[in-house]
Amino acid sequence: MLPLSYPLRNVLARPLRSAMSVVVIALVVVACSLFLGLISSLRRSFVSSGDPMNLVVLRKGSDNDGASQLSRDAVASIRWLEGISRNGDDQPLVSPELVVQPFFHTLAGGRENVLVRGVEPIALDVHSGVRITEGRMFRPRLHEVIVGRGVLGRYEGAVLGHEIRFGRNRWTVVGVFDAGGSSFESEVWADVTELAADARRGAVYSGVRITAASEAELARLKARIDSDPQYAIEASRESDYYAKQSETSRSLYVFVVIIALLAGVGAGFGSANTMYAAVQSRTAEIGTLRALGFTRGTILTAFQVEALALSLAGFAAGAVLSLVLSALVRGWLGGIAFSAATFTTNVVSLRIGASDLLLSGTLAVVIGFCGGLGPAWRAGNLRPIEALRRG
Amino acid sequence: MGFVGFVLANLRRNLLRSALTGGAVALAVLLVCLLLAMPAGLDAFLTRIASDTRISVINKAGLVYWMPYSLARKVRGLDGVTDAVGMVWFGGAFEEAGRVTFPSFAVEVDHIPGVYPDWNIAPDQLSAFQRYRDGTIVGRQTMRKYGWKVGDRITLRSNVWSLSLDLRIVGEIPNDRSPLVWVNREYLDQALKASGRPGLGIVGIVWTRVAAPDDVNPVMLRVEALTRNSDYETTTQTEKTFFATFIGSLQSFITILMIVTGLVSLCIVFIAANTASMAVRERAGEIGVLRAIGFRRRIIFSMLLAETVVLSLVAGSLGVLLAWAFTLGLRAAGATIAALGPLGGFFVTPGVIVQGIVLSLAIGILAGLAPALGAARKPVADTLREVF
C-alpha cells in the first residue's frame, strides 16, 4: 500500500496545474451553491410561514388569500366555533383578514405589487411567528401600518416613522416586524376596516386564520368548517397552505439541477484532462512503482485519491467563496424578489445553508471521482516494462 | 501541409484531450445559452404579443382597485382612440381542475375586434362571440391543456363573483402561449342580477387601441387627465411595459443568473487554457525545430492560437445547437406539461446564438493567448537546448 502522502505530495508537485483544477472545481461549487441557496431560501420563506397549529379558512376552491372572498357573516360563523385556542384576555384566536395588492414604488423607480394584509390587533397572537422588532403595533383609524423586514427600505417611504403611499391614502409606518425569514416579511399590515374602506371592498374579507387549541381540535375544526352547511368554505393547515405555495419553486429547482449537472460534467472533463496529463508525465514513475511490486489496485487508488484531494480542495475554496459572494449579494442587491401566487412580490434574502453546501460538495466529489476514474485506470493498467521503456 | 492542415493535425494528435476540452466548452456554451435564453425569451415573448398601439388603463393604486364601468365609454370618446375594451377579472376555475389555472376576464364583446385585430382571431368566431351571450373565446394553451374544442360546452366557477357560468366555446386565440379565457360581460352582469345582486358596475382594466404609435403619448396624457382628482385616478402604460412590470420583479434573480453565467464561462476559460498549455509544453521541441528551420514567430503564434480557437469555435457551435434543440424540446413539453411552468418559455433568439458564438471565440482566444505567446517568444536556442 502506498502511503497517503504519495498522492497528496503529487498534488503539490505541480502547483500550477493543481491550482487550475482546484479553481475550476471551486467555480462550479460557487455556481451551484449560489443557485441552490437561492432556491432553498425561496422555499424556506414559504415553509416557515405556516404554523402547524393554524388553519387558513378560505372560500372553497381558492388556492390563495388573494383569490378568496368571505362575507362578514361567514367570518362571524367561524369566530365562535369550539376548539379554538384563546389568548390571555380570553379572546378566541381568530384573525379575519383582507388581502389587497396595491402598487408600491420601489426606490429604483419601478413599481411592484405588494401584499397588504388588513388585520385586527389579535393577528399578532394568531401569527405567533410574527414579532414587532421596532416601533409598535398600528392603532386603528389613524392610517398607520407596520411593515415586514423585507419591505423595509425597498419602497419609497418604507422607513420607520415615514409615510408610504399606496391605495388612495398615505400611511405612517409605526412598526417593523420580523417573521423568521418567512413570506410575511414581504407584507405590510394595516387595520382591516381602514384597508377595506380604502380599497372600496365593503364588508368582505379574504379569509380567516385561526389557532386550534390542540391537534385533535384542529382536525375537528377542519372537518366542521369543510362541511359547513351554510357557507362554501374550506380550511387547510397553514403549513400545508404555504407548502403548496412553494410548489412554484419546483420548476426552478429542476432548472437549477440541470444547470448544476451540465456545469459539473464540463468541469469533470476539465479535471479528467489534467489527470490524464499527470499520468502521462509520470509514466516512468508509475512503471518504477509497478516494477517494485506495487499492484494495479494500489496505483489506481493513489491516482483516485489525488483526484479526490483536488476536488475536496476545490470544494473548500468554493464553499468559502460562495459564502462571501452571498454576503456581498445580500449587501448589494438586498433581497431577491420573486412573484408569489398572490401576484405580489416575495422578497427573499439569499442565504446558503449547510444542505446546499453539502449538495455542491457531493457534486465536487463526484466530479473528482469520475474525472479521476479514466486516468487512474490508465495508470493502473500501464505495463511496467513498456512504461519504463517509454519513460 | 498547409496552415489549416497543420492546425487540424495537431488537434487530432491527442484526440481524447481535444474531445474532453471540446466537451467542456460545448457544455459551457450550452449552459450560458440556456441562461441567456431566459431573459431573451421573456423579451421576445413580450415583443411578439404586445402591440405598440395598445395601451392599458388601470387604477393608479393597483390592479385590484376598480374603476367605474363608465370609464370604458369615456376612453372610447377620446381623440386618437380607435377602440377600447373594458375588462373585469372573472377568476374562473374549471371544475375538474378545482382551482384557478388560467386568467379569465369578462369583456365587452363588441369592442374585442377593434382592440385585437392583430391576434388573428377568425372573423366568424368573433361574430359568434358577439352573437351568443354564453360564448367564450379561449387561448390555445388552455384549449390544449383541457382538450377543449370550439363548440364544446364548459362550466366555469368564479371565486370572485361566487357563481358559475355555463359557457360554449365559440372561438380560439391562435397563440400557443395564450392561456386567456374571455367571457361576455353582459352575461356575467345578468347572472349577477339574477342572483339578486347589483350588476357589474365596474371595470378592472381598459385596453385601448390608438391609431398610430405617435398617438400613444398624447392619448395616455388625455386618459390620465380624464381621471385626475377623481376617486379613481388612473395610470396608463403601453402593452409591453404593462407585461414587463410583471416580470420586472425577477430582475435581481436574473442578476444572479448572470453572475453564475460569468463564473461558468471563466471556469471553462481555465479548463481550455490548461489544455492549451499542456499541448504547448509537450510540443516544445517541435516548436523549437520549426523556429530553427525558419518559421517566423508570428506563424507559430497564430498556429497555436488557431488550434484553441478552432476547437472552441467548433465545440461552441455544437453547444449553441444543443441549446437550441433543448429549448425546442422544453417548449414542446411545456405546451402539454403545465408543471414545467416558465421553463416552457425559453427562446434561443438570434441574439443568443450570436452571443454563444462570440463567447466560444472569446474562450478560444483567452485560453490560447498566453501559452501561444509563451511558446512563440521563447528563444530557439533555449528550447532546443532543453530538448536535445
- How far away is chain B from the Cα of A323, in angstroms, using its nearest Cα? 14
**Which cell goes with B60?**
393608479
Q: What is the pLDDT of residue B358?
A: 93
Cβ pair B270:A23 closer than 8 A:
yes
pLDDT higher than 60, residue B340: no
What is the chain A residue with the closest CA to B162?
A69
Task: Say whether B248 and A112 touch across the interface (CB within 8 A).
Answer: yes
Answer yes or no: do A254 and B160 touch at CB < 8 A: no
Contact across the interface for B260 and A35, Cβ inside 8 Å: yes
Residue A391 has pLDDT above 60, yes or no: no
Q: Please give the ipTM for the structure prediction.
A: 0.73
Average pLDDT of every residue of chain B: 85
pLDDT digit string (tens) for A299-350? 888 888 888 888 899 999 999 999 998 998 888 777 777 777 667 788 888 8
Q: What is the pLDDT of residues A92-120, one digit of tens each?
A: 999 999 999 888 888 877 778 899 999 99
Q: Which pLDDT score is estimated for B1? A: 57
- Flag whether residue B243 sits within 8 Å of chain A, measured between CB atoms: no
C-beta atoms of A266 and B267 within 8 A: yes
B226-267 per-position pLDDT tens digit? 988 888 889 898 888 887 776 655 666 777 777 877 887 788
Domain ranges for chain B: 3-47+250-387, 61-232
Could you write out the three-class secondary structure of chain B?
CCHHHHHHHHHHHCHHHHHHHHHHHHHHHHHHHHHHHHHHHHHHHHHHHCCCCEEEEEECCCCCCCEECHHHHHHHCCCCEEEEEEEEECCEEECCCCCCCCCEEEECHHHHHHHCHHHCCCHHHHHHHHHCCCEEEEEHHHHHHHCCCCCCEEEEEECCCCEEEEEEEEEEECCCCCCCEEEEHHHHHHHHHHCCCCCCCEECEEEEEECCHHHHHHHHHHHHHHHCCCCCCEEEEEHHHHHHHHHHCCHHHHHHHHHHHHHHHHHHHHHHHHHHHHHHHHCHHHHHHHHHCCCCHHHHHHHHHHHHHHHHHHHHHHHHHHHHHHHHHHHHHHHHCHHHHHHHHCCCCHHHHHHHHHHHHHHHHHHHHHHHHHHHHCCHHHHHHHHC
Contacts of A168 in chain B (CB under 8 A): 61, 65, 231
Q: Please give the residue that has the higher pLDDT: either B250 or A259.
A: A259
Taking the Cβ of residue B255 and every Cβ of chain A, the question of whether any pair is shorter than 8 Å is answered with yes
Of chain B residues 21-50, which have a CB less than 8 A from chain A? Answer: 21, 23-24, 27-28, 30-31, 34-35
Q: CB–CB of A276 and B17 under 8 A?
A: yes
C-alpha–C-alpha distance, residues A101 and A167, integer Å: 9
Query: The pTM is what?
Result: 0.79
Q: Which residue of A has its CA nearest to B253?
A: A336
For chain B, give the percent of residues with pLDDT over 90: 33
DSSP A132: E
Q: Which of A59, A200, A267 sits opposite B267 (nearest CB)?
A: A267
pLDDT band at B129 (very low <50, low <70, confident <90, very high): very high
| Least Cα separation, residue B299 to chain A (angstroms) | 26
Compare CB distances from B255 to A113, A266, A333 and report the shortest one's residue.
A333
Chain A residues touching B28 at Cβ < 8 A? 263, 266
Question: Is there a contact between B260 and A259 if contact means CB atoms under 8 Å apart?
Answer: yes
- Nearest CB among B99, B248, B274 relative to A20 is that of B274
Lowest mean pLDDT among A70-74, A80-84, A288-292, B376-380: B376-380
Contact A273 B248 (CB under 8 A): no
Interface of B with A in 320-339 (CB under 8 A): 339
Tell me whether residues B31 and A20 touch, CB distance under 8 A. no
Question: Between chains, do A251 and B339 touch, taking CB under 8 Å as contact?
Answer: yes
For residue B163, the cross-strand partners are: B158
Q: Quote the CA–CA distance of B203 and A28 in Å, as a whole number.
A: 51
Name the band, by pLDDT with cuts 50, 70 and 90, for residue A24: confident
Q: How distant is the Cα of A212 from the closest Cα of chain B, in angstroms?
A: 26
Min distance B189 CA to chain A CA atoms (Å): 18
Mean pLDDT within A78-104: 90
The answer to whether the beta carbons of residues B32 and B356 sit under 8 Å apart is yes
